[in-house]
Amino acid sequence: MKFHLFKGIRILFLAVFSLMMIYPLYWLITSAFKTNKEFFARPHSFPTNFSFENFTRAWEVADLGTAMMNSTIVTITATALTVFLGALTAYVLSRFTFKLKAFLMVFFLLGMLIPIHSTLVPLFTMMDQIGLLDTYWALILPYTAFELPIAIFLTVAYMSSIPKELEEAAVIDGNGYWGVFFRIMLPLSVPALSTVAILSFLRYWNEFVFALVFINDSTLKTLPLSLSIFSDGFSTDYALTMAAMTIAVIPTIVMYLIFQEQIMKGMVAGSVKG
Amino acid sequence: MRKIKIAFLGIIMMFILTACIGNGDSKATKRSAADGKISISIWHNFAGDDLRARKVRNMIANFEEENPTIEVDEQAIPVDGYRQRISTVAAANELPDIFLTYAGSFTDEFYNGELIQPITSLFEENPEWKNSFLEGALEPYKYDGELYSAPIAMSATSFLYYNKDLFTANNLEVPETWAEFVQVIKVFNDKGITPIAMGNKAPWVAQSTTFGAIADRVTGTNWFLDAVEQEDASFTDPIFIDALHRFKELVDNGAYSDGANSMDNTQAEQYFAQGKAAMMINGAWTLSSLGASQSEQVLTNIGVSVVPGIEGGKGSGNTITGGPGGGFLLSSETKGEDKQAALKLIYKLSNADAQKEIAESNSMVMYDVDIDKENVNPLFFEAFNLIREVEFAPVYDLYLTSEAGEAVNNGLQEIMLGGDPEKVAESIQKAQSSN
Amino acid sequence: MQSNLKLKGLLVITLLPALLLYSFFVIIPIFWSSYYGFFEWSGLGDATYIGLQNYIDVMQSPVFWRSLKNNLIIVAASVFGQVPIALALALMLRKSNWFQIFVRSAVFLPMVISTVVVGLIWGYIYDPEIGVINTVLRAVGLESWTKAWLADPSVNMYAVAVPIIWNYIGPYLIIFIAAIQNIPSEMEEAAMIDGASGWKKLIYIILPNMWTTIKVAVVLCISGSLKAFDQVFVMTGGGPAESTEILATYMYNNTFLVYRYGYGSAVSTMIILLSLILIGISQVLMKRKNEGMTIR
């Protein structure tokens, strides 16, 4: 009896906790259907009618189509670059021994400690000088660079656990180092690499500060920037802001639902080796 | 599952390819028009969905239709990032041909940097247009006798809005003196009604809408202009500390709700419109945002006045902080037929028709224009008439250095949290004198 | 196998792209940043060399120290919030039935939402008038507990910390679940036979076996919360009256609001130094017996 009571409390606790985690998202989506007046007058209630007008207007006014396209290009290119470079570097760092290895490992891991904002001004000046500002590369390259440490960290841990025999067998089959990398290491590391991909995807898709400072041209703007368009410094159109935010969050939720299993597996695989 | 992943990979590859090929040009400088057309670029901040923004964008579109030989490259940048972006391209010498500016130190920078050229010829060709601007409208854009811009907006930052029903229900008159003002605040507070709605999360609000008007009434305009120049006046002068104490008096009497510092301006406006607060001191922008979001019934219940005068103060009681607002500037790099086309566009966006269009989108202008009562909201119409009868006083942060402006903003929030006016005055003085 | 020379060539070719990219965009800017710290510079126009003055000013600025204190509150809230909550959840979520999977997904869900959106939503949750917290308090008769959560300096720093905790429990939860699954089941069985159960099992078997993982989590947590910016920036912008200023917003406001680039750069250099010091301290504090763990 006591045991059942304990179990019941635990389930109740978990259920309430999950609702707390989900509530803000629920609030965002229901608010997106409200008019401005309803938003302020009845902030917690269910919307009175489900009209998609907010969404269509937000889409047009903020030019979310363009922003979505830009975000997709930047995010996917940077994610692909992160996964590839991360895997390549991790392959070398986990499978070979050489003099500078320990130093390089620490050198890369240092990057995990660096706040992205502390490099804003110098990066701005450096990219201005080489003419990178206002191009997709102004986001793709720094994004990748800042995500590399965690990508390497997760992938090295995973690759270290791949048995040496598999590698040797591949060499006997006539594979060089690259053959081993592409035929053995890369396919076997898919769980870790998909974690890296998901985490980078989420980070890049939502990144705001670099996008704010390094991109001026409105035709190159990514989604997080387009969300500020309904605020003119004096007043904010909340209905449209909420609608735009909902539109922006949908792709990440879809991504998450599709790859949810992979995320769990990859995290499990990559993180515990320490 | 597997298919999805393969498809996903395919998409990745596709985008890498398109990203490599299509990472297009992005400079602010003009793109040469291919077919012999004249191409001019214009940057502005009318990016949103409000009536005025749509009207301005429409005017630009019309201009292109009327002038098939001119191609306009238009960039509408959200207000939040506009200053930073313009400053950045100015530093890199890549300004567009025409760009929106704000009156005051922002424009001074461009003039001092020789980045802009006069448009005086436009005024000479259209004397009637020139004479229709309100008194003082062109002053901020006059350098060495030449005119550099025509304002298309008026900034008026300190109207006193009040809820007529709440005043009648409590047998109160709209306050005209400081003593009455404090009394009214006390009464509403006792009744459990927030006396003044304010959304000071972005901390410029208290400074721009309320404190500037109070300070001008206490110190007078000339003292402030001297203090800005740091000549014969300092922000630690007793007279300025007195002004800060007046603001503290409002706070101490519970004029503002506890959450005033975490509400944004829109929330405060809604709060006021819902009748939860009796008054609100806010700028002309409120006229258009309330006009867009509230019913006729709510709007007719709102009255508009000026901040009460202060007995014994050095300034006039009948002022509103504000003055000429933004206008378009012409880059000094624009020459020849490009310049002619650019002048034509500037005129199109600031001539009598344009001013009327803008005014009828519930936005104040610095131009003598008659508006049709039917075309605007009733609150705007009332304010539009009020503004003809008052004088302008300076808006603090348009004159102070950005550091001192921040010091005032933060200082007022400190006072709202129980801070000491003397200390606030010191930090303002320190910031202003450090440049 | 192939020659040594070929191996060296491979190492260079494979490491170089990542190394260059990383050095150019992450490491070099740090040095530039500390260098700009020696100048008085508004971002436009000329910079004047002023030696250590900016660094001295930073050290003497009360707001900097307040930002540091606030930032430490966030670090503490993250370390003592995210890690224990994630750990407790991990212990409760060791099965894979639909309910547990649902809870896990729910906990991870905030990760997919943009931090800007998180800040905005929580700004509304805290709203004194229409926010859900005060609404609920009023509904249950606790009117006196209602507060202007983000405006009242006595609570606003804690209010700001909650969304940051909320945002990042997910990844730690998953890391911990993985670590628990990796504990050899023989050890647990042996403990059961010895009569150890519940708390004893937790203290003597589970926690020691997870210690390495917990340490990794703490390091990630510290570095993550020192970098916190978006949520605070959106919710309060560091205000009112700089009462919720944290290091990153302090740096940002100085650099981009009042155009003191040199000073802002000096602040960023200090942030990096402080991060290193804090991580170092945490490593020393968590050092146990013969473990020679570094950040990996």
Residue type, B128: E
pLDDT at site B92: 66
Task: Measure A3 CA to nearest chain B CA, in Å.
Answer: 40
Q: Which of chain C's residues have a Cβ under 8 Å away from the Cβ of B91?
A: 43-44
**What residue ranges define each of the domains in chain B, with the CATH number in brackets?**
38-153+325-368 (3.40.190.10), 156-322+393-433 (3.40.190.10)
Per-residue pLDDT tens digits for B423-435: 999 999 999 998 6
Element holding B136 (H helix, E strand): none
Q: Which of chain B's residues have a Cβ under 8 Å away from the Cβ of A77?
A: 15-16, 19
pLDDT at site B34: 54
The residue-averaged pLDDT of B162-190 equals: 95
Using an 8 Å CB-CB cutoff, list residues of chain B that contact chain A.
4, 11-12, 15-16, 18-19, 23-24, 26-28, 45, 47-50, 53, 75-81, 85, 88-89, 92, 202, 264-267, 269-270, 274, 283, 285-286, 289, 293-294
CB–CB contact A43 C130 (8 Å):
yes
Task: Measure B222 CA to nearest chain C CA, in Å.
Answer: 26
The residue-averaged pLDDT of B336-356 equals: 95
Q: In chain A, what percentage of residues exceed pLDDT 70?
A: 94
Q: How many CB atoms lie within 10 A of CB B327?
A: 26
Q: Which residue of B has its CA nearest to C123?
A: B262
- Residue A5 located in a structural domain: no
- Residue A34 located in a structural domain: no
Determine the Cα angle at A181 with ends A170 and C17, to 5°. 155
Instruction: Give the residue carrying structure tokens 């224990």.
Output: C84
Residue B255 has pLDDT above 90, yes or no: yes
Task: Measure A98 CA to nearest chain C CA, in Å.
Answer: 9
Residue B263 has pLDDT above 70, yes or no: yes
Lowest mean pLDDT across A241-245, B91-95, B365-369, C146-150: B91-95
Res. A3 pLDDT band, cuts 50 70 90: low
Choose among C250, C89, C245, C75: nearest CA to C161: C75
Dihedral over Cα of B330, B336, B342, B347: its sign: positive
Per-residue pLDDT tens digits for B65-119: 999 999 999 988 777 678 767 877 776 677 899 999 988 778 887 888 888 999 9
Lowest mean pLDDT across B19-23, B165-169, C65-69: B19-23
pLDDT at site A264: 66
Residue B12 has pLDDT above 70, yes or no: no
Interface test with A, best of B18, B20, B23, B395 (most A CBs within 10 A): B23
For residues C242-262, one letter each, b for 16 or more C-beta atoms within 10 angstroms of the residue's C-beta and e for the rest, the string is: bbbbbbbbbbbbbbbbbbbbb
Res. B23 pLDDT band, cuts 50 70 90: very low
Q: Which of chain A's residues have a Cβ under 8 Å away from the Cβ of C213?
A: 271-272, 274
Q: Quick check: B391 and B317 in contact, CB under 8 A?
A: no
pLDDT at site A268: 59
Arithmetic mean of pLDDT over chain A: 85
- Overall domain count for chain C: 1
Per-residue pLDDT tens digits for B130-140: 999 988 899 88
What is the distance in angstroms between the CA of the first residue and the CA of the last residue of chain C? Answer: 31
Which residues make beta-bridge pairs with B392?
Answer: B320
CB–CB contact B417 C243 (8 Å):
yes
Res. B213 pLDDT band, cuts 50 70 90: very high
Task: Measure C203 CA to nearest chain A CA, in Å.
Answer: 19
Res. B329 pLDDT band, cuts 50 70 90: very high
Q: Which residue of C has its CA nearest to B81?
A: C256
Q: A 170-189 residues with CB below 8 A of B?
A: none
Per-residue pLDDT tens digits for A205-242: 988 878 877 887 778 889 888 887 777 767 788 888 89
Domain hosting C180: range is 61-285
- Residue A40 located in a structural domain: no
- Residue C48 located in a structural domain: no
Q: B28 in helix, strand or coil?
A: coil
CB–CB contact A119 C275 (8 Å):
no
Which residues make beta-bridge pairs with B41?
Answer: B73
Q: Which of chain A's residues have a Cβ under 8 Å away from the Cβ of C36?
A: 121-122
CB–CB contact B203 C127 (8 Å):
no
- Residue C266 located in a structural domain: yes
**CA–CA dist B247, B218 (Å, integer):** 11
Per-residue pLDDT tens digits for B386-433: 998 899 999 998 888 888 999 999 999 999 999 999 999 999 999 999
CB–CB contact B76 A235 (8 Å):
no
Return the structure tokens found at A260: 């949810």
- List subunits contacting chain A, requiring 3 or more Cβ pairs under 8 Å: B, C
Burial class (CB in 10 A: 0-12, 13-18, 19+), B145: exposed
- Residue C38 located in a structural domain: no
**CA–CA dist B171, B166 (Å, integer):** 9
- Overall domain count for chain A: 1
Residue B184 has pLDDT above 50, yes or no: yes
* DSSP single-letter state for residue B333: T
C156 dihedral zone (left: phi>0; alpha: psi -120 to 50; beta): alpha
Per-residue pLDDT tens digits for A133-142: 889 999 999 9
Task: Measure B259 CA to nearest chain C CA, in Å.
Answer: 5
Residue C228 has pLDDT above 50, yes or no: yes
Which has the higher per-residue pLDDT, A37 or C96? A37
Domain hosting A255: range is 62-271
- List subunits contacting chain C, requiring 3 or more Cβ pairs under 8 Å: A, B
Looking up residue A262, the CATH number of its domain turns out to be 1.10.3720.10
Q: Quick check: C226 and C214 in contact, CB under 8 A?
A: no
pLDDT at site A1: 53
Which residues make beta-bridge pairs with B155?
Answer: B323
Residue type, A90: A
Per-residue pLDDT tens digits for C28-55: 998 988 898 999 877 656 678 999 999 9
pLDDT at site C195: 66
Residue B271 has pLDDT above 50, yes or no: yes
**CA–CA dist C36, C47 (Å, integer):** 9
- Residue A17 located in a structural domain: no
pLDDT at site B10: 41
Q: Report CA C8 to chain centroid distance, whole Å.
A: 38
pLDDT at site C245: 94
Per-residue pLDDT tens digits for A149-173: 989 988 887 888 788 888 888 888 8
- Number of alpha carbons in the 13 Å side-chain half-sphere of residue B352: 11
Determine the Cα angle at C207 with ends C202 and C208, to 5°. 125
Res. C220 pLDDT band, cuts 50 70 90: confident
* A127 inside 8 A of chain B by CB: no
CB–CB contact A77 B75 (8 Å):
no
Q: Quick check: B421 and B248 in contact, CB under 8 A?
A: yes
The residue-averaged pLDDT of A40-65 equals: 86
Residue B217 has pLDDT above 90, yes or no: yes
**CA–CA dist A151, A144 (Å, integer):** 10
CB–CB contact B80 A57 (8 Å):
no
CB–CB contact B203 C240 (8 Å):
yes
pLDDT at site A153: 83
CB–CB contact C241 B413 (8 Å):
yes
List all residues 6 or more positions away from C11 whose beta carbon is below 8 Å from its beta carbon. Answer: A92, A96, A98
CB–CB contact C230 A260 (8 Å):
no
CB–CB contact C128 B262 (8 Å):
yes
Arithmetic mean of pLDDT over chain C: 84
pLDDT at site A2: 58
pLDDT at site A274: 38
Looking up residue C161, the CATH number of its domain turns out to be 1.10.3720.10
Task: Measure A83 CA to nearest chain B CA, in Å.
Answer: 12
pLDDT at site C5: 74
Which has the higher per-residue pLDDT, B144 or C291? B144
Q: Which residue of A has its CA nearest to B266?
A: A235
pLDDT at site C288: 55
Res. B259 pLDDT band, cuts 50 70 90: confident
- Residue A6 located in a structural domain: no
Q: Which of chain C's residues have a Cβ under 8 Å away from the Cβ of A44?
A: 130, 132, 135
Select from C102, C111, C112 the Cβ nearest to the Cβ of A18: C102
Per-residue pLDDT tens digits for A89-106: 999 998 888 888 888 988
CB–CB contact B259 C128 (8 Å):
yes
**CA–CA dist C74, C96 (Å, integer):** 33
- Residue C111 located in a structural domain: yes
- Residue A56 located in a structural domain: no
ipTM of the complex: 0.85
What is the distance in angstroms between the CA of the first residue and the CA of the last residue of chain A? Answer: 41
Q: Which residue of C has its CA nearest to A152?
A: C18
